[in-house]
Amino acid sequence: MNIGTAARQSGLAPKTIRYYEDIGLLTADRAANGYRDYSNEDVHRLRFVQRSRSLGFSVEECRQLLSLYTDRDRASADVKAIATEKLGEIDRKIAELTGLREMLGHLVENCHGDARPDCSIIDGLSGRSRDH
């Protein structure tokens, strides 16, 4: 199948698929006319990458996961290690964002938000606030 079909079936943009080929993440056969030609198994791999990316894995991690995916002899522990590491990262990001949310939330709450120039958000950002 052509790249457009593979794109639709995998949820990736054609441009993205070409880019992945460019950086050597995935290869594709070529038809006689020079068009890329994708098998169902290729689409599986594309979707695998799409899901992994959307779960927060970097392209390099996808490369690793993909080789683990392809290598039927690898231990599941190898995969679990990568996924667990990622889980930690996600947790750290959530914690960080939650902190941000709290701080910014305070600022917004304390800002009267009217026509007066006095603004606790600006004060907070400039480090002139009384607490924290």
Partner DNA sequence: CATAAGAGTTCCAGCCGCTGGAAGCTCAAG
Partner DNA sequence: CTTGAGCTTCCAGCGGCTGGAACTCTTATG
Q: Which stretch binds DNA (CB under 7 A): 56-64, 65-73, 96-104, 119-127?
A: 56-64
Q: Are 5 and 39 in contact (CB under 8 A)?
A: no
**8 token code pair:** 């639709």
Least Cβ distance, residue 32 to a second copy (angstroms): 30
45 binds DNA (CB under 7 A): no
CB of 105 to DNA, least distance (A): 21
The residues with which 30 forms a beta bridge, in sequence order, are 36
Owner of token pair 């079909």: 5
Closest CA to 1 of 30, 27, 25: 30
Element (DSSP H or E) covering residue 43: helix 40-54
Q: Which of 25, 36, 42 is nearest to 3 (CA)?
A: 36
Task: Work out whether 94 is an interface residue with a second copy (CB under 8 A).
Answer: yes
Least distance between a second copy and beta carbon 13 (Å): 19
Residue 100 interacting with a second copy (CB under 8 A): yes
CB of 9 to DNA, least distance (A): 11
Site residues (vs DNA, CB under 7 A):
2-5, 7, 13-16, 18-19, 32-36, 53, 58-60
